[in-house]
Amino acid sequence: MKPQNQKFRQEEQNSVTDSRLFATAFLLLVFAGILALRLLYIQGIQNSKYSADALHQYLIKIPREGERGLIYDRHMQNLVINEACVSIGLDKSRMNASARLYARKLARHLSRSENWIYNRIRKVSGDFVWLERRVDTAIGSKIATLNLQGVRIEKDTRRNYPHQEVASHLLGFTDADNKGIEGVEYFYNDLFTGEDGWSLIQRDGRGRAVPEQVIREKEPVNGESIVLNIDLIYQTMATEELRTATRKYNATSGSVIVLDPNTGNILAMANEPSYNPNSPTQYSIAARRNRAVTDAFEPGSTFKIVPFAGLLEMNKLNPAEAVFAENGSYAMRGRTIRDTSPHGWLVPKDVLRYSSNIGTVKLTQKLGNEALYKFVKQFGFGKQTGIEFSGETAGAIRDVPEWSSFSQASIAIGQEVSVNALQVALAYAAIANGGNLLQPHLIRGVLKENGEIEKIPVTADDKRPRRILSAETATEIKKYLLDVVEEGTGKDARIPGVQIAGKTGTAQVPRSDGKGYSTSDFVSSFVGFFPVEQPQYLIYVVLHTDKANQWGSKAAVPTFQNIAKRISVNLQQPESKYTETTSKEQSKLKHQDLQQIVVPDVENRRFETTEAALRDLGLHTVSTGEGEFIKSQFPVAGTKLSPGDEIKLERFELLPSDGFTKMPKLIGLSLREALNKMAIANLEPMVYGNGKVVRQKPAPDTPIRAGIRCVIECETPEIKTPFFSQVN
């Protein structure tokens, strides 16, 4: 029995051993299966995730923005440039201290608060975050000394408006992200904005980015540049004369418009108060408003051309038939209409010459309500002009059923109707050009890489130009307006050798509570065009002034004359080389030599970007000097070169680091050349006259602080500006 029991126990032990071996093998097999499945999961399904994590350990993706397009005047002078600066970013994965410590140290040099920086670091997803965009390079140098691991100081560009207040209301400005906020910058923001790119940069063994080790990149695309119809010289003149007028005539605000009455091209548009778009937040919203298109007001006597045009068009005005002006006071429907000076019998041209309210009201009675309303609308009042600018007011004219028994009389003399300044200017342009209401054009077009200017299609609902008056009516009113300047209320606008036609305006300002008119606030205005036979320029001046300066003949007319004197110097000069060619001429030029390259205007552009662009065109560049920007070029823009030809570029820095500069030598230069030099030196010009510079203050090479106002006196110094007494 004993051997049998021993044998049974041996078999039992063997069975347990076999079970254990089987269980162990099974567990090993399951474990191997789990490892295999896990490996399959990692290498297959999760491959992209772990690959990305691996890449993350030695790569960083840095965003790159396309450079914003530039803005030029009609003669290709820079109105806006992109200046060098830096942007401060942070690679959060490389931080070696707390976010609070980083925020505390960075806040000492950035404009952001410690809490703002801390929250941005904590809340923005992803490894890379911008902390502040487009700051001075000096700030970047200070931040570099902090030695904060992961902080990146990237080269960048920001908007600079070298002519400061000149054209500021038209240009507008951008925010810290280079996004247009007002003006043309806002209206065409999509055109100016390029396409973003990026660079994938390798890290070194310590996790630091190595800029020269670019693994992969997407080049950013620069935005389009735009050419305006604005003439920098005329814009400067309008700005200076308007600034002087607001001080001299105690005006709270004002506007000046200079346009070509044959095309509707806006040559200048200035407003007061003004602002410097390089520091827009230092000014009120009211100061940044382009009042010439955004503000509505009652036009007063400049509106009288509307009933006169209607009467002539409908053959209801006999030029020889006199109307009695009641010796200056006329009672009508319980109200009294007054003239500024008493008159008896007046023929129609004398009614307009002396701006008789009574005579105008009596003549308009022949027209009737419906016809008067028709011509008000026909001249474009009560509807936006369609200028390429946001925020334009349409003004207002009530429908005839809403008129009172006195409305016809009020509207005839420019009351009970509101307009913007551009509408008035275009109405007079229709008289000047023979009867066509024009589409205003602030923008000339988009500047292409080959130097050509491509027009932007007009999208306005109000299709213009369109004929609103016969040529005969326009010619007759033009004669009346010539009499206004030669012998009437606008005679102080006369310029020897130049025939001017125009009309004065004096208007009361409605009270804010709607109860009648203010006794202290008035609108003084004058609109004129010249030369009368073939008008080339139209100027409209409007000043919101006090009772002492309310008359258009007292405040607006002298301001008009000062601007017109300076512009008239150019009447005998040959047409600019930048005048648009006809399509036939363009076609001829294109077929002359298809292998030639038209040199673009690259002055004031960034050297790095320009060099690459010229290289793409097939040109070889040679540079002299140092700096981020191009001061001059040779050959000049418009020159035709062959592939491989050389173009020389002179470089410069925009501003001295200590804020000081030397007064450039301007004597002997043309006014345009002088203004360009002052813009580069960041100096504000105060110009007297036009033509070549004969005197300047301060003297050449005088050490001065950038940004101060300096005097330029040109060949026609007879125009006086008594309120400018000294230069800082």
Element of type H or E holding 214: strand 209-218
Distance between CA 492 and CA 35 in Å, rounded?
99
pLDDT category at 30 given cuts 50, 70, 90 is: confident
Answer whether residue 479 shows pLDDT above 90.
yes
Token digits for 66? 């396309």
Using alpha carbons only, how large is the chain's radius of gyration in Å?
A: 36
Say how many Å lie between the first and final Cα of the chain, rounded. 130
Query: What is the predicted pLDDT for the residue at 598?
Result: 67
Minimum mean pLDDT range among 122-131, 272-281, 358-367 = 122-131
Strand order in the sheet with 253-259: 266-272, 253-259, 537-546, 517-530, 501-510
Query: What is the predicted pLDDT for the residue at 16?
Result: 61
Distance between CA 422 and CA 424 in Å, rounded?
5
Distance between CA 129 and CA 644 in Å, rounded?
43
Answer whether residue 648 shows pLDDT above 60.
yes
Contact 95, 87 (CB under 8 A): no
CA angle 497, 499, 503 (to 5 degrees): 140
Query: What is the predicted pLDDT for the residue at 727?
Result: 30
Answer whether residue 590 shows pLDDT above 50.
no
Max CA separation in the chain (angstroms): 161
Query: What is the predicted pLDDT for the residue at 53?
Result: 52
Distance between CA 438 and CA 259 in Å, rounded?
11
Residue 370 phi/psi, 5° resolution? -60, -45
Q: What 3-state DSSP class applies to 6?
A: helix
Distance between CA 485 and CA 493 in Å, rounded?
6
Mean pLDDT of 639-661: 73
Average pLDDT of the chain is 84
Q: In 10 A of CB 105, how many CB atoms?
A: 18
User: What are the distances in angstroms from CA 113 to CA 99, 174, 280?
Assistant: 13, 22, 21
Q: What 3-state DSSP class applies to 287?
A: coil
Distance between CA 437 and CA 290 in Å, rounded?
22
Query: What is the predicted pLDDT for the residue at 644?
Result: 82
Query: What is the predicted pLDDT for the residue at 460?
Result: 64
The alpha carbon of residue 307 and the mean position of all alpha carbons in its chain are separated, in whole angstroms, by 36
Mean pLDDT of 676-689: 78
Token digits for 92? 């959060």
β-pair partners for 678:
none
β-pair partners for 505:
525
Least Cα distance to 481 among 340, 574, 339, 349 occurs for 349
pLDDT category at 718 given cuts 50, 70, 90 is: very low
Strand order in the sheet with 629-634: 620-624, 646-652, 629-634
Query: What is the predicted pLDDT for the residue at 342?
Result: 93
Q: In 10 A of CB 486, how many CB atoms?
A: 16
- Please give the residue that has the higher pLDDT: either 721 or 116: 116
How many helices (H) does the chain have, and how many strands (E)?
21, 33
Encode pLDDT of 433-449 as tens digits: 999 999 999 999 999 88
Mean pLDDT of 627-654: 80
β-pair partners for 62:
199
pLDDT category at 726 given cuts 50, 70, 90 is: very low
- 659 dihedral zone (left: phi>0; alpha: psi -120 to 50; beta): left
Distance between CA 509 and CA 523 in Å, rounded?
7
Answer whether residue 166 shows pLDDT above 80.
yes
Answer whether residue 575 shows pLDDT above 50.
no
- Please give the residue that has the higher pLDDT: either 629 or 179: 179
User: What are the distances in angstroms from CA 622 to CA 254, 258, 611, 625, 649?
Assistant: 48, 41, 9, 10, 6
Encode pLDDT of 345-385 as tens digits: 999 999 999 999 999 999 999 999 999 999 999 999 999 99
Verify cis geometry, omega within 30 degrees of 0, for the bond prior to 465: yes
The alpha carbon of residue 541 and the mean position of all alpha carbons in its chain are separated, in whole angstroms, by 21
pLDDT > 90: percent of the chain: 49
Write out 510-540 in H/E/C secondary structure: ECCCCCCEEEEEEEEEEEEEECCCCCCEEEE
- Please give the residue that has the higher pLDDT: either 444 or 704: 444
Q: What 3-state DSSP class applies to 157?
A: strand
pLDDT category at 215 given cuts 50, 70, 90 is: low
Distance between CA 395 and CA 380 in Å, rounded?
10
Query: What is the predicted pLDDT for the residue at 687?
Result: 80
Write out 78-124 in H/E/C secondary structure: EEEEEEEEEEEEEEHHHCCCCHHHHHHHHHCCCCCCHHHHHHHHHHC
Answer whether residue 422 shows pLDDT above 90.
yes
Strand order in the sheet with 684-688: 684-688, 709-714, 693-697
Q: What 3-state DSSP class applies to 331?
A: strand
User: What does the CA dihedral 456, 460, 463, 468 come to, rounded to 10 degrees?
Assistant: -110
Answer whether residue 601 shows pLDDT above 50.
yes
What is the identity of the amino acid at 333?
R
Answer whether residue 481 shows pLDDT above 60.
yes
Query: What is the predicted pLDDT for the residue at 593?
Result: 37
Mean pLDDT of 166-189: 93
Let me know if 385 is exposed, middle or buried by CB neighbors in 10 A (0-12, 13-18, 19+).
buried
Distance between CA 637 and CA 598 in Å, rounded?
8
Mean pLDDT of 598-616: 73
Minimum mean pLDDT range among 205-214, 320-329, 331-340 = 205-214
pLDDT category at 722 given cuts 50, 70, 90 is: very low
Distance between CA 367 and CA 313 in Å, rounded?
10
**Ordered alpha helix ranges (H), 345-470:** 348-353, 357-364, 369-378, 407-412, 421-432
Mean pLDDT of 120-142: 87
Mean pLDDT of 278-300: 94
Quickly tell me which residue has 């410097």 as its tokens: 276
Query: What is the predicted pLDDT for the residue at 309?
Result: 97
Query: What is the predicted pLDDT for the residue at 725?
Result: 28
Mean pLDDT of 256-273: 97
Query: What is the predicted pLDDT for the residue at 156?
Result: 82
Answer whether residue 657 shows pLDDT above 80.
no
- Please give the residue that has the higher pLDDT: either 56 or 653: 653
Token digits for 502? 């125009």
Query: What is the predicted pLDDT for the residue at 704?
Result: 83
DSSP 660: E
Mean pLDDT of 11-25: 69
Predicted TM-score (pTM) of this structure = 0.75
| CB crowding 703-726: b at 16 or more within 10 Å, else e | ebeebeebbbbbebeebebeeeee
Strand 684-688 relative to strand 709-714, pairing:
parallel
Mean pLDDT of 91-116: 91
